[in-house]
Structure 1
Amino acid sequence: MDGWRWRAWVGHPDGGKLGAAFLVSPARLLTCAHTVAGMDEARVGFPGLSEDLVARVRRLSDWRRPGDPGDVALLELPAPVPFAPARLAGPGDLTEPRRDGSGADPLGRRTFGIWGFPRRRDDDERYATVTTGPDLVLRQEWWQLKAEAGDWLEEGFSGSAVYAPATGEVVGMVTDAELGGREDGGDGGRASKGRMLPLTSIRMYWEGLDDLLPLAWLTPEARRALRALLDGVRSSDPLEARLAEVTGSASHRRFRSAWDAVRYVAEGWPGGALPRFLRAAAPHLDERTRAALEAWSAEHLPDAEDAEAESGAAPRPGAAPRPEGGGSGMASVIVRLERVTFDNAYDLTVHTWVDGAEGPAQRTVRVPERRVRPAVEEGVARARGAVVGRDWMIEFAVPETWLSKPFEEWYVDREHRIRMRMYPVVVRDVERLRPDSIRRDQAHHRWRLLHERGRSDPQLVRCGAPRAGTAFQDWLEANTDFCVLVYGTRPVKGWLSAALNTGVPVMLWTRTRCDGPSHDDCGGARVLDELARAVAGRHPGDLPNLALALRKKALAAPKDEQHCGRDLTLLWDDPSRLPDPPLGMEV
């Protein structure tokens, strides 16, 4: 019982219940702006525990009328209440599919509980079960809610927390119900559909919410101190220019504040990006804030300079960004091909990836193998509008047997005969896109190590290496720090399977097989050494553009000369770039 005492009603000072609210700290509650519109004070009650408390209404946005964004307000009590606040979900918890019995499906949809205070003679609260998920986003602000059979959304549910019944974890707040006629599934004041503001939207209007969320970057103490010293600091063109340098690409949106930019970097890029951004941003802050930031950095980031130097990262501030930089921050068209178990066909989905999150995705289509190339080229042509004008690449997430296909020779614009090699092209193991894949789990660990290291230390696999898959896999299992493999020839199946099974996230090879009688000084050995020199020491985020540059150099080289960029395949498998599984696909 004690775990649910954070649920409250909110009403007009003159009496009557208007909606719901939920306790987020000992003296603060969240509710909808429309519930307390025009009020400076509201009444708050915790049913059966403490009734008719007076709370000050604090407006958090420019909300004016139904349909406006920012339908959220803060209620501040004059004194703390003796009830534990709601447990809040972390931003990543809202989009990760769950396997805990909470009703997960491949799209990440889950069932949640809500409660409200519709007009009833008994004046009691009412409960309902709703379903939602990240694919039901509306205008990048709300998620659509669907009431379960037998339940309804009604007036009086506004401001209710949307929570997981098994844990009490809150993921958002009910804001609207599609009240209307029977075509809406309702009966007058009832509806089967509505909307919620996820916590990821609420934190855009109330930055203080970040002090309460379970965020993984920095310690809670350090994060609260950093947010406090940046409180009220507006974003600016110079700050956003420094952000683009650090991440490798400009964001598609304007930032509401300096803090908004800080969390964007901290949650979208590896750990070293945040210290680099703070150092680059410091000269653009006023003198008082700059001095406070320097003191904060000395206390909370004392080893940042040393760690960055050890990783091989460029010094900051004042240094130019890496010329190729930004693989992890680049936009993408992601082509996903899954082999079906019959008819020699493939399920094709074309996704986009923009600013660290999935953009528009196309409906999954089933195509016979002979139609895969034209279907992919048509899908990429339709998708490119979401990324044109940015730094972008093309990712092919394909079955293992397709990894050596010459995708860069396919057309990004068939009408004008423009090939995909005009852009960075990488391949990925489609098995790793499955949320429950062991291959994905293994790749996650090595990818994190690779980014913490900040440079590529390639391991060379020469043409004459032992070809038994078991021995190769034993070698990789015994060396968990091997993150980049460079092959002297197209890897045989045993090599490739072993590397994928053990989570190696980056591999490079030329697709030309070496047929030399001796491998002491064969063509494969020479290409291998040339490719390894090009890769060594490079930041992993640079590799897609490095492969692009090598392919261009190969085009200019004499055709009868070997070149490490000719017929080059780059497997570059960033497990954070994980588009939602297509509807109906097995997971």
Structure 2
Amino acid sequence: MDDWQWRAWVGHPAGGKLGAAFLVTATRLLTCAHTVHERDEAHVGFPGLREGLPARVVWRGGWRREGDTGDVAVLELDEPVPYAPARLAAPDDLHERTAAGRTFGVCGFPRRHDQNERHAAVTTSPYRGMRQEWWELKTGAGEWLEEGFSGSAVYDTSTGEVIGMVTNAELRHGDRAELGWMLPVTSLRAHWEELDDLLPLRWTTPGARRELRELLDGVRFTEPLGADLERAVGRPPLGEFRSAWASVRHVAEGFAEDRLARYVAALGRHLPEARRQRLSGWSARHLPGAAAGAGAPPRPEPASVIVRLERVTFDNAFDVTVHTWIDGAEGPSSPTVRVPERRVRAAVEAGVSALAPALFGHAWMIEFAVPESWLGKPFEQWYVDPRNKIPMRRYPVVVRDVERLRPDSIRRDQAHHRWKLLNARGRSDPHPIPCDEPRKGSDFQDWLEAHVDFCVLVYGSRPVKSRLTAALNNGIPVMLWTRTPCDAPSHGDCRGHRVLDELTAAVGDKHPGDLPQVALALRKEALVAPKDKPHCGRDLTLLWDDPSRLPDPPLAMEV
């Protein structure tokens, strides 16, 4: 907690307040571009501390008139002030911070005779966004926004952490407003990239990030660079990037470090020789293993048929789409078909059979991205060749949570963090969940949330719904279980414990990328094992959810 000394006003050099600002370094403040429009100089005051300090406008965004994006400006003081700058919230924490109607504070400087600041409580949410730029603000009962709040930080009143900046309000009721808009830190950083030097990001060190950002300053994001990004991460970007730095940040914050190393190496080919050498030196110092792996081919990525099933909200029907994933990018896919539940299997088998030839010659697998309630279906028993009744178990078969394929899914974001950790670790290190697991309901949820390093769970019996939901909500990317329940009256030496021990040992030191093949081998062993004895490969389900293998959603599923 701080003393809120970073809150400031912005005014004319000749006197009078125009709006608000907040301190982000000892000499720099953020405010709105419209507050200092057509001005190169301003005065800044810290209420009750120092007033009327001269400041220069050293950077402004693309805002020129009402409705424009980029309503951001940076002011620089002539001398540093002895106040702690505002602490900024991590961009990937915003969804969680704004959940459940949590309130935030804002502080403005309206034109009043007393010249004092005014405060208001507001709520906001990423789901109240507009044009991928602003989030809507709603004031509390009996509170309002008015002229003079532009440039105010939107901050957590319990921690002081800033999540955004007020830009404008819908003035009614005598120049007062109950509705306004802010730029979240995700938009602020998109416009003023130097803000990334100050954000609490989770990749590399602040000094290393700043060095890389400065090295890439002024480098545009081009179509050839977009093609390199797609090859590095396995899918095309969802939108355009404002700069090369923005694209690097996207890879660093959403994919494993080896993808970042691959992309940075490709980016170097687009730079002049001097910058290319500096970038190579940066990679050698800050991306462990990048230099050693530069000459070696990257770990091969398996090709796939990816079956996507989305439940329709009426008629007990499903939208079925079959994609292919080849050489780290989306290949041919089938049109989406809507079928009743009883015809899902036939539609899937027909779609897989039609697209399978595109993968011949590759090492390939079959991925089922399905609703949570379908994760335990025996998909390996379905047919890859219905005419000749050849089962899919001839190939590795895995399941995925279809919700994680949606770009706006919190589950997907959670899975990204754990998958990145799992790949960096390079081995599965599973955590066994026995069939008599004592934790129930919310206790299991809390246990997973507290252990962010848990990435692979192995169950001794089919997980009950509450445990499966808790694991998916916490982003667990890999889970294994046999679908046969353990119904032993005593669990000292039950079937579930024996299967759990075998399955844990089978995957313990394996690289996560090898687990589909491990599951394939276990299923084959189970085919010739005595039927009257349990085997960990019999009725085996493997949830293997690499978030980077993300084919574009069909148009029918985007809404």
Quick one: distance in 2 between partners of 1:482 and 1:212?
29
1:209 aligns with 2:183: no
The amino acid of 1:217's aligned partner reads W
Q: Does the CA-based 8 Å contact 2:255-2:548 persist in structure 1?
A: no
Report the alpha carbon displacement of residue 39 of structure 1 after superposing the two structures with TM. 0.8
The amino acid of 1:178's aligned partner reads E
Q: Secondary structure of the residue that 1:200 maps to in structure 2?
A: helix
Quick one: distance in 2 between partners of 1:495 and 1:486?
13
**1:301 is matched with which residue?**
287
Query: Structure 2 residue aligned with 1:469, among 423, 435, 440?
Result: 435
Report the alpha carbon displacement of residue 271 of structure 1 after superposing the two structures with TM. 2.7
Q: Does the CA-based 8 Å contact 2:9-2:20 persist in structure 1?
A: yes
Quick one: distance in 2 between partners of 1:326 and 1:47?
61
Q: Does the CA-based 8 Å contact 2:309-2:402 persist in structure 1?
A: no
User: What are the superposed Cα offsets for residues 11-38 of structure 1, whole Å, 9 maximum, x if unpaired?
Assistant: 1223211110111001111000111111
The amino acid of 1:23's aligned partner reads L
**2:86 is matched with which residue?**
86
Quick one: distance in 2 between partners of 1:141 and 1:484?
37
Quick one: distance in 1 between partners of 2:312 and 2:254?
22
1:451 aligns with 2:423: yes
Quick one: distance in 2 between partners of 1:440 and 1:5?
38
**1:395 is matched with which residue?**
369
Distance 1:372 1:35, change over 3 A: farther
**1:171 is matched with which residue?**
163
Query: Structure 1 residue aligned with 2:153, among 154, 158, 161?
Result: 161
Distance 1:373 1:16, change over 3 A: farther
Quick one: distance in 2 between partners of 1:159 and 1:319?
49
Distance 1:41 1:407, change over 3 A: farther
Distance 1:486 1:316, change over 3 A: farther
Distance 1:443 1:298, change over 3 A: closer
The amino acid of 1:136's aligned partner reads R
**1:353 is matched with which residue?**
none
- Equivalent runs, 1:170-189 vs 2, <5 Å: 170-180=162-172, 187-189=173-175
Q: Secondary structure of the residue that 2:120 maps to in structure 1?
A: strand
Q: Does the CA-based 8 Å contact 2:44-2:54 persist in structure 1?
A: yes
- Equivalent runs, 1:124-523 vs 2, <5 Å: 124-180=116-172, 187-305=173-291, 315-316=293-294, 319=297, 322=300, 324=302, 373=341, 395-399=369-373, 402-405=374-377, 426-428=399-401, 447=419, 449-454=421-426, 469-470=435-436, 492-493=461-462, 505-507=477-479
User: What are the superposed Cα offsets for residues 517-572 of structure 1, whole Å, 9 maximum, x if unpaired?
Assistant: xxxxxxxx9xx99xx99x976737x969x999xxxxxxxxxxxxxxxx99985423
Where structure 1 has 5 or more consecutive residues not aligned to the other structure, the ranges are: 99-103, 181-186, 307-314, 338-345, 351-370, 378-391, 411-423, 462-466, 514-524, 549-564, 578-587
The amino acid of 1:405's aligned partner reads K
Quick one: distance in 2 between partners of 1:443 and 1:255?
24
Quick one: distance in 1 between partners of 2:465 and 2:543?
11
The amino acid of 2:462's aligned partner reads K
Quick one: distance in 2 between partners of 1:176 and 1:154?
9
Quick one: distance in 2 between partners of 1:188 and 1:146?
17
Q: Secondary structure of the residue that 1:43 maps to in structure 2?
A: strand
**2:73 is matched with which residue?**
73
Distance 1:265 1:547, change over 3 A: farther
Q: Secondary structure of the residue that 2:260 maps to in structure 1?
A: helix
Q: Does the CA-based 8 Å contact 2:308-2:370 persist in structure 1?
A: no
Report the alpha carbon displacement of residue 427 of structure 1 after superposing the two structures with TM. 3.8
The amino acid of 1:4's aligned partner reads W
Report the alpha carbon displacement of residue 507 of structure 1 after superposing the two structures with TM. 4.4
More off after superposition, 498-507 vs 88-97: 498-507
**1:17 is matched with which residue?**
17
Q: Does the CA-based 8 Å contact 1:427-1:569 persist in structure 2?
A: no
Q: Does the CA-based 8 Å contact 2:254-2:416 persist in structure 1?
A: no
- Equivalent runs, 1:530-541 vs 2, <5 Å: 539=513
Report the alpha carbon displacement of residue 405 of structure 1 after superposing the two structures with TM. 3.0
Report the alpha carbon displacement of residue 71 of structure 1 after superposing the two structures with TM. 0.6
Q: Does the CA-based 8 Å contact 2:2-2:160 persist in structure 1?
A: no
Q: Does the CA-based 8 Å contact 1:280-1:317 persist in structure 2?
A: no
Q: Does the CA-based 8 Å contact 1:61-1:205 persist in structure 2?
A: yes
The amino acid of 1:404's aligned partner reads G
Quick one: distance in 2 between partners of 1:293 and 1:568?
46
The amino acid of 2:50's aligned partner reads S
The amino acid of 1:469's aligned partner reads C
Q: Secondary structure of the residue that 1:35 maps to in structure 2?
A: helix
**2:530 is matched with which residue?**
none
Where structure 2 has 5 or more consecutive residues not aligned to the other structure, the ranges are: 321-338, 346-365, 383-396, 440-447, 486-498, 521-536, 550-559
Q: Secondary structure of the residue that 2:242 maps to in structure 1?
A: coil
How many residues were matched structurally? Answer: 442
**1:123 is matched with which residue?**
115
Q: Secondary structure of the residue that 1:87 maps to in structure 2?
A: coil
Q: Does the CA-based 8 Å contact 2:130-2:136 persist in structure 1?
A: yes
Distance 1:469 1:189, change over 3 A: same
User: What are the superposed Cα offsets for residues 237-268 of structure 1, whole Å, 9 maximum, x if unpaired?
Assistant: 22222211121101021221121111101111
**1:420 is matched with which residue?**
none
Quick one: distance in 2 between partners of 1:52 and 1:537?
61
The amino acid of 2:77's aligned partner reads L
Distance 1:481 1:3, change over 3 A: closer
Q: Does the CA-based 8 Å contact 1:57-1:74 persist in structure 2?
A: yes
Q: Does the CA-based 8 Å contact 1:21-1:29 persist in structure 2?
A: yes
Distance 1:29 1:8, change over 3 A: same
* Aligned residues with identical type, % of pairs: 55
Q: Does the CA-based 8 Å contact 2:6-2:23 persist in structure 1?
A: yes
Quick one: distance in 2 between partners of 1:190 and 1:148?
13
Distance 1:158 1:501, change over 3 A: closer
Distance 1:116 1:512, change over 3 A: closer
Distance 1:74 1:162, change over 3 A: same
Distance 1:96 1:69, change over 3 A: same
Q: Does the CA-based 8 Å contact 2:21-2:29 persist in structure 1?
A: yes
Q: Does the CA-based 8 Å contact 2:461-2:483 persist in structure 1?
A: no
Quick one: distance in 2 between partners of 1:397 and 1:65?
46
Distance 1:165 1:2, change over 3 A: closer
The amino acid of 2:369's aligned partner reads E
Distance 1:165 1:231, change over 3 A: same
Distance 1:124 1:472, change over 3 A: closer
Distance 1:81 1:497, change over 3 A: closer
Distance 1:64 1:406, change over 3 A: farther
User: What are the superposed Cα offsets for residues 37-89 of structure 1, whole Å, 9 maximum, x if unpaired?
Assistant: 11111121111211112211134322111111111111111111121111111
Report the alpha carbon displacement of residue 158 of structure 1 after superposing the two structures with TM. 0.3
User: What are the superposed Cα offsets for residues 290-340 of structure 1, whole Å, 9 maximum, x if unpaired?
Assistant: 11112222333354445xxxxxxxx5479578454799xx99887699xxx
- TM-score normalised by structure 2 residue count: 0.65
Quick one: distance in 2 between partners of 1:331 and 1:23?
50
Distance 1:278 1:31, change over 3 A: same
Report the alpha carbon displacement of residue 458 of structure 1 after superposing the two structures with TM. 9.8
Distance 1:218 1:336, change over 3 A: farther
Q: Secondary structure of the residue that 1:51 maps to in structure 2?
A: strand
Q: Secondary structure of the residue that 1:94 maps to in structure 2?
A: helix
Quick one: distance in 2 between partners of 1:326 and 1:119?
63
**1:356 is matched with which residue?**
none
User: What are the superposed Cα offsets for residues 361-381 of structure 1, whole Å, 9 maximum, x if unpaired?
Assistant: xxxxxxxxxx9949x99xxxx
